[in-house]
Amino acid sequence: MARSKADQILQLKVTLTEVEPPVWRRLLVPADVTLAKLHDALQDAMGWTNSHLHCFEIAGRRIGMVGIEEDSPELEDERRVRVTSVLPRKGARLVYRYDYGDDWEHVVEVEDVTSRDRRLSYPVCIAGARACPPEDCGGAFGYEELISALADPKHDEHDQMVTWVGGHFDPDSFDANAVNRLLRGGRLHAAGSPPKADCPSVSRAVADASWYWRAGSRLGERNDVLGGRASEPLERINDAGVGFGRQGVHATRSLVAGRGTNMTTPRTYSASCHCGAIRFTFTCEEITSGRRCNCSICIRKGAVMSSNYFRPSDVEVEGEERLALHQFGGKNVNHFFCRTCGIFPFSTVASVPSDYQGPARSGDYRVNLGCVHDLDVLSLDIQVINGKAL
C-alpha cells in the first residue's frame, strides 16, 4: 500500500560543504512540512543561531524569505513550498545556503523514505559529527584559520581567537541529545493540547518573531513586510489564548497589536556589580517592571530581578572569570556572585513561576535590575514571587 504524504518520513543527510573533516547531521523529517519548517530544523540541527538570511536552491529555483531580500523577484516563498515537492524521492538533493557573507553551503540529500513512527516526535536527529562553526567566523576559509589559531598556543592570534570564541571551542564535539532538545523546542503542541506560555513552541515563536523584528529595525522602510512575517508565529499562539505578560520579550507586544508597523528600537542596557569587576549588557524593550523574590537570599540582598528572561547568549559579560557560582538548599537554582563585592548580577532559572506569562526555559538568566545603570528600580512596577516554592 502506498504511503500517504502525511505518513512519509524523509531521512535526510545534511552536509556542510568545503569543511574538512565534514560537519554533518542525519535527520528524520516529515515529508509534508514546508521549507520554512525545514529551515528551522536545519538551524537547530546544525547549531546556527538564525542570525542571517538563507535560501534553498534546486534546479535553478531559489526559495526563501519573500519580502526581505532586496532585488530578488525570482525568490519563491518558503512557507508555500513543501519538502516533498522538491525532495520527492531517495537520492534527491538540494542546497541550503545560510549567511550570504560567510556563504555556508549545505547539501541536503534524501537517504531514505520511511513511514512515520507514532512513538516519535519529528523532526529528530539520529546521527551527526562535529560542531557547527561559530557564527561570523568568515566562512569555510575563515573557519580553517580559526581552528589553526585555536590549536596552536604559539599562533599570533591564539589568545585573540580564544577570547573571541568565549574561552573554548571543540570542533570535534557533537551531542545528538542536545540537538534534539533544540528540535523539540521548535515543535507546536499536539492538537487538543493548548500550549502554555512557557512551553518551547512559544519560546521559539517569540524568538522567530524577534528575529524578524530586529531585521526590520535595520531595514527601516521595509518594517511592514517584516512585521507581517513576525506577527504570524505570535498570532498562532495568541489565537490559542496564550498571554505574553505585561513586558513580553523584545517587540512581542507591538508585533501582536500592530503586525509590526509600530516597531520601536530596542534599548541596550549596561550593568555591573558594585565593584565593577563584572560588567554586562543585554537588549530588550524598555524595562518597566520587576520581580522581587521572597527567598532568604534575595530578601537579604534586596534584589529586584527582571520580569523577563534572557538566554545566556543574549547577555554579554566581561569579567566572567570573577564570578562564583553557588547553589542553595540543595536546589538547582544557580546564583552568580562577584568574588570581590558579593553582588549577584544575574541568576540561572531552574524553574519558572507558575504565574509567569512569557517564554522561558531552564538555564535562562534573570538579571538583577539593581545592577543596571541609569535605571530607577524604585519606580518600577514590582511583583513579589514565591521563590521558596521554586
**What is the rounded average pLDDT of the residues 375-385?**
84
pLDDT exceeds cutoff 80 at 304: yes
pLDDT exceeds cutoff 70 at 301: no
Write the pLDDT tens digit of every residue in 162-179: 998 888 999 999 999 999
Write the pLDDT tens digit of every residue in 87-114: 999 999 999 999 988 999 999 999 999 9
pLDDT exceeds cutoff 80 at 207: no
pLDDT exceeds cutoff 50 at 5: yes
Q: Where is 239: in which H helix or E strand?
A: helix 223-239
What's the pLDDT at 241? 43
**What is the rounded average pLDDT of the residues 252-275?**
61
Read off the pLDDT band of 267 (50, 70, 90). confident
If DSSP codes are grouped into helix, strand and coil, which group holds residue 184? Answer: helix
User: Half-sphere exposure of residue 345, counting CA atoms within 13 Å on the CB side?
Assistant: 31
Tell the burial category of 358 from Cβ atoms under 10 Å away from its Cβ (0-12, 13-18, 19+): buried
> Rounded CA gap, 146 and 157, in Å?
9
Read off the pLDDT band of 296 (50, 70, 90). low
CATH class of residue range 267-389:
mainly beta
CA 89 to each of CA 55, 65, 334, 342: distance values in angstroms, whole numbers, following the listed order: 21, 25, 49, 61
- The better pLDDT of the pair 355, 292 is held by 292
Read off the pLDDT band of 356 (50, 70, 90). low
Summary mean pLDDT of the chain: 77
Among candidate residues 126, 102, 96, 105, the one with its CA nearest the CA of residue 9? 126
In CATH terms, the fold of domain 5-131+172-185 is 3.10.290
Read off the pLDDT band of 359 (50, 70, 90). low
What's the pLDDT at 16? 98
Residue carrying the nine cell digits 549567511: 99
Give me 103's grid cell.
556563504
pLDDT exceeds cutoff 60 at 255: no
Render 39-56 in DSSP notation, one character per residue: HHHHHHHHT--S-S-EEE
Least confident of 4-13, 55-64, 101-110, 379-388: 379-388
Read off the pLDDT band of 196 (50, 70, 90). very low
> Rounded CA gap, 255 and 72, in Å?
25
What's the pLDDT at 244? 38
- The better pLDDT of the pair 388, 122 is held by 122
- The better pLDDT of the pair 359, 278 is held by 278
Among candidate residues 325, 319, 309, the one with its CA nearest the CA of residue 279? 319
pLDDT exceeds cutoff 50 at 126: yes
Greatest mean pLDDT among 36-45, 317-326, 359-368: 36-45
Read off the pLDDT band of 333 (50, 70, 90). low
Percentage of the chain modeled with pLDDT above 70: 67
Read off the pLDDT band of 323 (50, 70, 90). confident
Domain ranges of the chain: 5-131+172-185, 200-258, 267-389
What's the pLDDT at 177? 92
- How close are the terminal C-alpha atoms of the chain, in Å? 52
